């Protein structure tokens, strides 16, 4: 029973505590609402919506201000007063048993407070915008009045920069000033919203007019003071240069100058009515076209002294190249009688002659044009430069052809001397082999000897032709040179094998007294020797000697080669 009582007491205590906390939270919300309502800037808004201010307004601004005042008086203030009463009433009820029945009312009160704050904020923002509009319009009145005065002063004091455009500019300025006066009147009457619409248009038009004042002089100056002088200078210069027989790459320069003069006049007409876009395009075109014509004339002025300097030098160079080509052709035709020309030298030289004839033909035509005063110096200069480059290339080819055939006779003499040397060496080799007194010559050696002999005969026949081909002869010389060298090496090998074998056999006879195994090898070596197998014979007897007396073969061989070397040195 006691435990049940304790439980009931605990639950009752918890309920009391919960009620206390809920009551405190509700009262705190209501206190917060009261503080927020008290903080609303109603006095400031009331002052800014003072009825005395209405007298300074009219039109749409007056209607906007009136709507704000009505919203303040009929919506905001009653709502705030009702909310303040609700705060007091709900605070009292929160301290009674009605605490649990006022939750929805407290929530609705919060929404009212939020709405009142939002309305205050909106009213202040609208008033700020109105105040700012008034302030900006007051500033615009001062700024624009000064700006228009500056515009007028510019048009008066610097009228020479605008030409006939000044009339249109003055009319536009008058129109701006009239619109400005209308703006000032509306703003001073208090219809600031209507004034702002006028001001927005006025500022855009003023900016455009300022741009005109800046652009017109930059367009007018070249049209009035620069281009006419340049066109006149070009026309006079053209006439003077034509009297001095200058010709130009551009056709109908006088017609071009006339056309450019018409464009200049048309541009001035467009500028007079302030149509700037075509004027800009025309100015760009005139500037480029005039610069181009100056360049065309200057090019001819610069070209003539160069032509007068280069022309005689070029003619001398052409004369020299033609003379060289004639000499080269004569030499090639002479050489072609005795030698085969393998690289189309004659055809190439004749081709160079044709190139020179074309250059001569062009030069004659150019000189004729100069005499007739129809030549264009810049074009003639380019042809002279190009022709000079061709002459340099032709002379390089002439030199290359000449160098290619210049050594034919010397090469022939060297080839004949080499042929004589090969024939002499061949005869000497034959005598050397015969002097060895061998029982016979190996067939392999004989075959190679006759190969070299045939090569020498073939070379001799090629050298004795009415027209010789030095390229082919050179190839044969290289072959004979190599094969003759090989023949000498084989002859030395034949001699060395035969003489060494005889010496080794003599030495082997002495060894056979103490070494019976040597005697059969001696007989074998003699048999191979008599069969002309001198290398095999030397190998057989050498092996036998080395086995009987190690080192003897090497010693005897070295002694033989030392004797041979000493003989050659003598």
Question: pLDDT tens digits, residue range 198-228?
Answer: 878 888 888 998 999 999 999 999 999 999 9
Nearest Cα neighbor of 150 from 201, 203, 206 is 206
| 41 or 143, which is more confident | 143
- Three-state SS for 156-189 is HHCHHHCCCHHHHHHHHHHHHHHHHHHHHHHHHH
CA–CA separation, 193 vs 172, rounded Å? Answer: 25
Extract the tokens encoding 118.
């939002």
- CATH for the stretch 2-134: 1.20.120
Which residues, including other chains, have CB under 8 Å from residue 79's CB and lie 6 or more apart?
A: 112, 115, 116, 119
**167-181, 182-196, 293-307: least confidently modelled range:** 182-196
Integer Rg of the chain from CA: 63
| 128 or 444, which is more confident | 444
pLDDT at residue 370 in the model = 93
**Single pTM value for the model:** 0.56
CA–CA separation, 270 vs 184, rounded Å? Answer: 34
Sign of CA dihedral 508, 512, 514, 516: positive
Give the three-state DSSP class for 468.
strand
Task: Count the Cβ atoms, other than its own, within 10 Å of residue 564.
Answer: 14
Which residues, including other chains, have CB under 8 Å from residue 559's CB and lie 6 or more apart?
A: none
191, 295 in Cβ contact below 8 A?
A: no
| Cα torsion through 489, 491, 493, 494, rounded to 10 | 160
Question: pLDDT tens digits, residue range 360-383?
Answer: 999 999 999 999 999 999 999 999
Spell out the long-range contacts of 501-507 with Cβ–Cβ below 8 A and sequence spacing 24 or more: 501/525, 501/529, 501/534, 501/537, 501/538, 501/541, 503/556, 503/560, 504/538, 504/541, 504/542, 504/545, 504/553, 504/556, 505/529, 505/541, 507/545, 507/552, 507/556
| 253 or 184, which is more confident | 253
pLDDT at residue 14 in the model = 47
Question: pLDDT tens digits, residue range 285-320?
Answer: 999 999 999 999 999 999 999 999 999 999 999 999
Question: pLDDT tens digits, residue range 460-502?
Answer: 888 888 777 878 888 988 998 999 999 999 999 999 888 999 9
Question: pLDDT tens digits, residue range 244-278?
Answer: 999 999 889 999 999 999 999 999 999 999 999 99
Q: Is the pLDDT of residue 235 over 70?
A: yes
pLDDT at residue 183 in the model = 74
pLDDT at residue 185 in the model = 81
Q: How far is CA 70 from the centre of its chain?
A: 73
Helix (H) or strand (E) holding 441, with range, is none
pLDDT at residue 311 in the model = 95
HSE (side-chain half, CA atoms, 13 Å) at 447: 3
Q: Is the pLDDT of residue 30 over 50?
A: yes
Extract the tokens encoding 529.
């020797």
CA–CA separation, 317 vs 357, rounded Å? Answer: 13
- Please give the average per-residue pLDDT across 27-38, as a whole number: 65
């Amino acid at each position: 029973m006691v435990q049940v009582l304790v439980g009931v007491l605990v639950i009752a205590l918890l309920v009391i505590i919960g009620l206390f906390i809920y009551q405190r939270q509700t009262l705190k919300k209501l206190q917060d609402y009261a503080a927020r309502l008290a903080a609303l800037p109603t006095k400031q808004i009331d002052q800014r919506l003072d009825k005395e201010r209405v007298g300074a307004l009219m039109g749409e601004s007056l209607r906007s201000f009136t709507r704000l005042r009505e919203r303040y008086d009929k919506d905001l203030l009653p709502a705030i007063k009702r909310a303040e009463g609700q705060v007091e009433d709900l605070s009292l009820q929160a301290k009674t048993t009605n605490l649990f029945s006022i939750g929805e009312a407290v929530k609705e009160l919060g929404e009212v407070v939020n709405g009142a704050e939002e309305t205050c904020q909106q009213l202040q923002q609208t008033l700020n915008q109105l105040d700012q509009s008034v302030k900006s319009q007051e500033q615009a009145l001062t700024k624009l009045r000064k700006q228009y005065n500056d515009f007028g002063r510019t048009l008066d004091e610097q009228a020479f920069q605008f030409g006939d455009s000044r009339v249109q500019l003055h009319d536009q300025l008058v129109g701006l000033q009239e619109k400005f006066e209308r703006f000032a009147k509306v703003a001073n009457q208090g219809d600031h919203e209507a004034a702002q619409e006028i001001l927005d248009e006025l500022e855009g038009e003023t900016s455009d007019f300022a741009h005109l004042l800046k652009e017109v002089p930059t367009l007018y100056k070249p049209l009035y003071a620069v281009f006419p002088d340049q066109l006149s200078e070009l026309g006079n210069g053209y006439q003077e240069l034509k009297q001095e027989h200058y010709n130009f790459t551009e056709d109908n320069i006088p017609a071009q100058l006339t056309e450019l003069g018409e464009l200049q006049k048309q541009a001035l007409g467009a500028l007079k009515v302030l149509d700037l876009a075509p004027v800009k395009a025309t100015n760009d075109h005139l500037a480029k076209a005039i610069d181009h014509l100056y360049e065309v004339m200057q090019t001819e002025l610069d070209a003539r002294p160069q032509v007068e300097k280069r022309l005689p030098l070029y003619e001398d160079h052409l004369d020299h190249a033609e003379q060289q080509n004639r000499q080269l052709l004569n030499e090639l035709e002479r050489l072609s009688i005795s030698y085969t020309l393998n690289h189309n030298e004659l055809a190439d030289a004749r081709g160079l002659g044709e190139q020179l004839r074309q250059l001569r033909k062009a030069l004659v035509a150019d000189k004729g044009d100069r005499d007739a005063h129809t030549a264009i110096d810049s074009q003639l200069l380019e042809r002279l430069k190009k022709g000079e480059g061709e002459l340099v290339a032709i002379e390089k080819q002439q030199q290359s052809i000449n160098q290619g055939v210049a050594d034919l006779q010397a090469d022939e003499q060297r080839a004949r001397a080499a042929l004589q040397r090969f024939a002499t060496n061949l005869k000497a080799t034959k005598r050397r082999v015969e002097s060895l007194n061998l029982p016979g010559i190996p067939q392999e050696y004989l075959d190679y000897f006759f190969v070299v002999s045939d090569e020498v005969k073939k070379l001799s026949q090629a050298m004795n032709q009415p027209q010789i081909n030095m390229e082919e002869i050179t190839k044969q010389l290289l072959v004979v040179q190599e094969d003759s060298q090989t023949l000498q090496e084989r002859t030395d090998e034949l001699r060395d094998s035969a003489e060494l074998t005889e010496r080794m056999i003599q030495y082997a006879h002495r060894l056979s007294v103490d070494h019976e195994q040597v005697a059969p090898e001696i007989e074998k070596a003699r048999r191979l020797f008599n069969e002309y197998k001198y290398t095999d014979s030397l190998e057989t007897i050498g092996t036998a000697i080395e086995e009987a007396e190690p080192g003897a073969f090497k010693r005897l061989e070295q002694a033989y080669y030392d004797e041979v070397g000493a003989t050659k040195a003598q």
